[in-house]
Structure 1
Amino acid sequence: MGASTINVPFSSKVLVIGGGPGGSYAAAALAREGIDVVLLEAAKFPRYHIGESMLPSLRHFLRFIDAERKVEAHGFQKKPGAAILFNQWTREGYTYFGQNNHSWNVVRSEFDEILLRHAEECGAKVYEEHKVTEITFAEGSNYRPTSATFTTGTGEVRSIAFDYLVDASGRAGIMSTKYLKSRHMNETLKNIACWAYWKGADMYAPATDRENSPWFEALTDESGWAWFIPLQDKIVSVGIVMDSKVSAAKRAAGSAAAGDGKSYTLQDHYLAQFAFVPRLKKLLGGAELRVDATGQTPTVKSASDFSYTASSYAGDHWRLVGDASAFIDPFFSSGVHLAISGGLTAAVTIAASIRQHCSEEEAGNFHDHKVAVSYTRFLLTVLGAYKQIRNQQVIFFCADRGWKLLTVHHQQVPVLNDIDEGNFDRAFDLIRPVIQGTADAGKMLTEDELQKAMARRRDFVTHIFVPTDPEMQQRVGTRLGMNVLAPGAPILTKDQISSLSAGDEDTEWVLNQANASKTISDFYTGPDRLLGEVVDGLIGCTERGNLGLARVSEKSQVRRK
Structure 2
Amino acid sequence: MSTQVHDLSTMPNSLDVDVAIIGAGPSGAIAASLLHQQGKRVLVLEKQHFPRFSIGESLLPCCMQFIEEAGMLDALNAAGFQHKNGAAFRRNGTYTTFDFTDKFTPGPGTTFQVQRASFDKLLADTAQSQGVDIRYGETVEAIDLTENPRLTVRNEQGELYQINAQYVLDASGFGRVLPRLLNLESPSCLPPRSAIFTHVEDNISDASFDRNKILISVHPEHKDIWYWLIPFSNGRCSLGVVAEPQLLERLQGSLEQKLMSIVNEEPGLKALLANAKVAQECATLKGYSANVSRLATGKFALLGNAGEFLDPVFSSGVTIAMQSASMAAKCLTKQLNGETVDWQADYSTPLMQGVNAFRTYVQAWYDGRFQDVIFYEEPNERIKQMICSILAGYAWDTNNPFVKDSERRLNMIVELCRNPAATPAFAEV
TM-score bracket, normalised by the shorter chain, equals: 0.7 to 0.9
1:125-151 CA distances to partner (integer Å, 9 max, x unpaired)? Answer: 111111111111216xxxxx5210111
Of 23, 34, 39, the match for 1:29: 34
Distance 2:344 2:25 in 1: 22
**For residue 422 of structure 2, what is the aligned residue in structure 1?**
none
**Structure 1 residues 68 and 205: alpha-carbon distance in aligned structure 2, compared to 1, 3 A threshold:** farther
Note the 1:453-464 alignment, pairs <5 A: 463=373
Distance 1:466 1:511 in 2: 16
Note the 1:201-220 alignment, pairs <5 A: 201-202=203-204, 206=208, 210-220=210-220
Of 308, 311, 317, the match for 1:329: 311
Letter in 1 for 2:128: E
Displacement of 1:199 in angstroms is 0.8
Of 240, 258, 276, the match for 1:287: 276
**For residue 138 of structure 2, what is the aligned residue in structure 1?**
130
Note the 1:83-122 alignment, pairs <5 A: 83-85=88-90, 87-88=91-92, 91-98=94-101, 101-122=109-130
**Structure 1 residues 239 and 175: alpha-carbon distance in aligned structure 2, compared to 1, 3 A threshold:** same
1:164 aligns with 2:167: yes
SS in 2 for 1:83: strand
Distance 1:31 1:326 in 2: 25
Note the 1:17-416 alignment, pairs <5 A: 17-85=22-90, 87-88=91-92, 91-98=94-101, 101-138=109-146, 146-179=149-182, 181-202=183-204, 206=208, 210-222=210-222, 223-248=224-249, 250-251=250-251, 254=252, 264-291=253-280, 299-357=281-339, 359-360=340-341, 362-388=342-368
Distance 2:201 2:239 in 1: 11
**Structure 1 residues 351 and 522: alpha-carbon distance in aligned structure 2, compared to 1, 3 A threshold:** farther
1:171-202 CA distances to partner (integer Å, 9 max, x unpaired)? Answer: 121221221x2222325331100011111431
**Structure 1 residues 205 and 349: alpha-carbon distance in aligned structure 2, compared to 1, 3 A threshold:** farther
Moved over 6 A (4+): 525-529
Structure 1 contact 307–329 (Cα < 8 Å) conserved: yes
Displacement of 1:527 in angstroms is 10
Distance 1:33 1:216 in 2: 40
Structure 1 contact 53–229 (Cα < 8 Å) conserved: yes
Letter in 1 for 2:126: H
For these two proteins, the number of residue pairs brought into alignment is 390
Distance 1:96 1:157 in 2: 51
**Structure 1 residues 339 and 204: alpha-carbon distance in aligned structure 2, compared to 1, 3 A threshold:** farther
SS in 2 for 1:52: coil
SS in 2 for 1:133: strand
**For residue 402 of structure 1, what is the aligned residue in structure 2?**
none
Note the 1:480-495 alignment, pairs <5 A: none
Give TM-score, length-normalised by structure 1: 0.65
**Structure 1 residues 356 and 527: alpha-carbon distance in aligned structure 2, compared to 1, 3 A threshold:** farther
**Structure 1 residues 61 and 235: alpha-carbon distance in aligned structure 2, compared to 1, 3 A threshold:** same
Give TM-score, length-normalised by structure 2: 0.84
Distance 2:394 2:346 in 1: 21
Distance 1:174 1:290 in 2: 31
**Structure 1 residues 2 and 68: alpha-carbon distance in aligned structure 2, compared to 1, 3 A threshold:** same
Greater C-alpha radius of gyration: 1
Note the 1:523-538 alignment, pairs <5 A: 523-524=393-394
1:315-334 CA distances to partner (integer Å, 9 max, x unpaired)? Answer: 12211001110101111001
Distance 1:149 1:321 in 2: 20
**For residue 419 of structure 2, what is the aligned residue in structure 1?**
none
Structure 1 contact 61–526 (Cα < 8 Å) conserved: no
**Structure 1 residues 352 and 462: alpha-carbon distance in aligned structure 2, compared to 1, 3 A threshold:** farther
Kindly indicate whether structure 1 or structure 2 has the higher relative contact order, using CA contacts under 8 Å at least 6 residues apart.
Answer: 2
Displacement of 1:522 in angstroms is 7.3
Distance 2:41 2:387 in 1: 42
1:484-507 CA distances to partner (integer Å, 9 max, x unpaired)? Answer: xxxxxxxxxxxxxxxxxxxxx64x
Displacement of 1:278 in angstroms is 1.3
Q: Which one has a larger percent helix, Structure 1 or Structure 2?
A: 1
SS in 1 for 2:150: strand
Letter in 2 for 1:284: L
**Structure 1 residues 372 and 279: alpha-carbon distance in aligned structure 2, compared to 1, 3 A threshold:** same
Distance 1:173 1:282 in 2: 39
